[in-house]
């Protein structure tokens, strides 16, 4: 009954959002061995603090992508075949809450009991690191869609695991390069980041990047409040007293909202420049409250910092019509995962002249070092032995003004740093690359 109670609300949400489930696609009829459907396990936070800013937008994006792919409405080059190669997609959506051990158990259930064809999921880096070896053990194609740790493919190799987005290093390197480009006279930095791997890894990479760009930079203080702390009064008091030029934060979701609201009410933004590397999801939520001068990132060219070409316009429109709001960066990351899978399957099908359904080994081969169009531009799995995506990094600065036509906060001084500027070369450790002055 516990499983049933989780499924019923999801079906209701999917129905309300316009998700109609898979419909047969006629162009798969002549492909030998083609299945009736492709079943994908989608794992993302549906409850807890990570659900609202990340997990729910990720889930919504999965629903939008499946609806649009099954109806053949995704723009070229994805509109030649409905679903994947003419086979409709069905998704089973699972809550990522519960921790790594719970997710490993749930993953095994998805693979062994539900018999999904592949898994797309994981926001938590600890969950991604725990799932990866199990995916290889069970030989199941698994796409990490959002988790940021660079350690996934820098410390290990996985045959069945891919990540169709960049890792967190681009956030830190991009932030440092943006700071030094727009504020070259900066002399001191400070950090407020959550006290777990994500916060420590982001600060380490940002500090190293700033020192690589300016060896004389001083660190005023580093604060590591517990995750979901909510109250940052002590940390803000310290930052106000020390007056660093830059305050770096990789806080996200409710933590970032709480920190910024408290910091702005006490004037921290007036004496220090706040850099919020994961700022995009809060822009629609705090658009009327965000003051001028706060630097924000979107973990790549997404959301408010996206390229705004035809593919992006299509995604924004489809998402808005089906969900009722604009997509934030986790939604873009989910779209990248689905498009990477479709691209790889159909590339493998093309190698078979669309006469026989590809073996999973063919699909994995097609994924390695692949390039594919997305709403955020062309994504390439260029590092990690062809299993890890790279993206440019984009940052902007808030103006404190809202566009009356879009109801979006207006950003100024938007700058994009190319893939080569923010990603270490294939096979090179990211921190070594940073500390070597961004050289191999």
Model confidence at 350, pLDDT cuts 50, 70, 90, reads: very high
User: What is d(CA 63, CA 350) in angstroms, rounded to the nearest whole number?
Assistant: 26
Check if the beta carbon of residue 392 is closer than 8 Å to that of residue 301: yes
Q: Who wins on pLDDT, 270 or 24?
A: 270
Query: Which tens digits make up the pLDDT trace of 143-202?
Result: 999 999 999 999 999 999 999 999 999 999 999 999 999 999 999 999 999 998 899 999
Model confidence at 29, pLDDT cuts 50, 70, 90, reads: confident
Query: Which tens digits make up the pLDDT trace of 226-251?
Result: 988 999 999 999 999 999 999 999 99
How many CB atoms lie under 10 A from the CB of residue 324?
Answer: 9
What's the rounded mean pLDDT across residues 398-403?
94
Strand, helix or coil for residue 367: helix
Fold of 169-298+392-435: Rossmann fold (3.40.50)
Which positions ≥6 away from 102 have C-beta within 8 Å?
Answer: none
What's the rounded mean pLDDT across residues 251-279?
96
**Closest Cα partner for 288 from 134, 401, 161?**
401
What's the rounded mean pLDDT across residues 303-321?
94
**7, pLDDT greater than 60:** no
User: What is d(CA 348, CA 327) in angstroms, rounded to the nearest whole number?
Assistant: 30
Six-digit token pair at 51?
């659900």
Helices (H), 23-99: 56-70
**17, pLDDT greater than 60:** no
Q: What class has domain 2-168+307-390? A: alpha beta
pLDDT of residue 254: 87
Please state the domain extents for the chain.
2-168+307-390, 169-298+392-435
pLDDT of residue 142: 98
Identical topology for domains 2-168+307-390 and 169-298+392-435: yes
Check if the beta carbon of residue 358 is closer than 8 Å to that of residue 348: yes
User: What is d(CA 156, CA 147) in angstroms, rounded to the nearest whole number?
Assistant: 16
pLDDT of residue 25: 55
**2, pLDDT greater than 80:** no
Model confidence at 377, pLDDT cuts 50, 70, 90, reads: very high
Six-digit token pair at 153?
């493919």
Edge-to-edge, what's the strand order for the sheet holding 161-163? 89-95, 38-44, 118-121, 142-144, 161-163, 388-390, 377-383, 371-374
**307, pLDDT greater than 70:** yes
Model confidence at 27, pLDDT cuts 50, 70, 90, reads: low
Model confidence at 288, pLDDT cuts 50, 70, 90, reads: confident
User: What is d(CA 256, CA 235) in angstroms, rounded to the nearest whole number?
Assistant: 13
What's the rounded mean pLDDT across residues 283-296?
92
What's the rounded mean pLDDT across residues 49-68?
95
**24, pLDDT greater than 60:** no
The DSSP secondary structure of 83-136, one letter per residue, reads TBTTBPEEEEEEE-TT-HHHHHHHHHIIIIIS--SEEEE---HHHHHHHHHHHH
pLDDT of residue 149: 93
């Amino acid at each position: 009954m516990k499983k049933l109670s989780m499924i019923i609300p999801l079906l209701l949400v999917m129905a309300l959002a316009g998700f109609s489930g898979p419909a047969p696609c006629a162009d798969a009829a002549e492909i030998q061995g083609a299945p009736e459907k492709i079943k994908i396990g989608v794992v993302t936070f549906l409850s807890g603090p990570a659900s609202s800013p990340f997990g729910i937008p990720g889930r919504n994006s999965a629903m939008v992508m499946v609806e649009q792919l099954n109806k053949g409405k995704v723009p070229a080059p994805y509109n030649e075949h409905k679903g994947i190669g003419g086979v409709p997609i069905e998704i089973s959506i699972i809550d990522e809450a519960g921790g790594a051990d719970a997710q490993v158990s749930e993953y095994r259930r998805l693979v062994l009991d539900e018999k999904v064809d592949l898994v797309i999921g994981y926001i938590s880096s600890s969950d991604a690191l725990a799932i990866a070896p199990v995916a290889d053990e069970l030989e199941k194609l698994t796409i990490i869609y959002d988790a940021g740790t660079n350690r996934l493919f820098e410390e290990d190799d996985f045959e069945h695991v891919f990540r169709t987005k960049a890792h967190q290093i681009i956030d830190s390197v991009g932030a440092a390069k943006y700071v030094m480009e727009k504020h070259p006279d900066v002399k001191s930095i400070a950090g407020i980041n959550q006290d777990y791997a994500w916060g420590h890894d982001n600060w380490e990479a940002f500090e190293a990047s700033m020192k690589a760009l300016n060896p004389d930079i001083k660190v005023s203080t580093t604060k590591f409040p517990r995750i979901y702390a909510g109250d940052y009064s002590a940390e803000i008091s310290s930052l106000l007293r020390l007056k660093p030029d830059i305050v770096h934060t990789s806080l996200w979701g409710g933590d970032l909202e709480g920190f910024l609201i408290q910091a702005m009410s006490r004037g921290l933004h007036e004496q220090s420049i706040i850099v919020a590397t994961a700022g995009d999801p809060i822009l629609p939520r705090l658009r009327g409250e965000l003051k001028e001068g706060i630097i924000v990132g979107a973990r790549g060219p997404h959301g408010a910092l996206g390229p705004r070409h035809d593919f992006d316009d299509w995604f924004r429109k489809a998402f808005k019509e089906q969900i009722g709001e604009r997509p934030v960066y986790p939604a873009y990351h989910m779209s990248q995962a689905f498009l990477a899978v479709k691209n790889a399957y159909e590339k493998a099908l093309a190698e078979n002249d669309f006469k026989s359904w590809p073996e999973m080994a063919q699909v994995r081969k097609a994924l390695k070092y692949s390039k594919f169009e997305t709403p955020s531009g062309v994504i390439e799995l260029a590092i990690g032995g062809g299993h890890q995506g790279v993206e440019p990094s984009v940052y902007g600065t808030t103006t404190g003004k809202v566009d009356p036509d879009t109801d979006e906060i207006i950003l100024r001084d938007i700058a994009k740093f190319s893939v080569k500027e923010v990603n270490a070369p294939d096979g090179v450790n990211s921190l070594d690359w940073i500390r070597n002055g961004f050289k191999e």
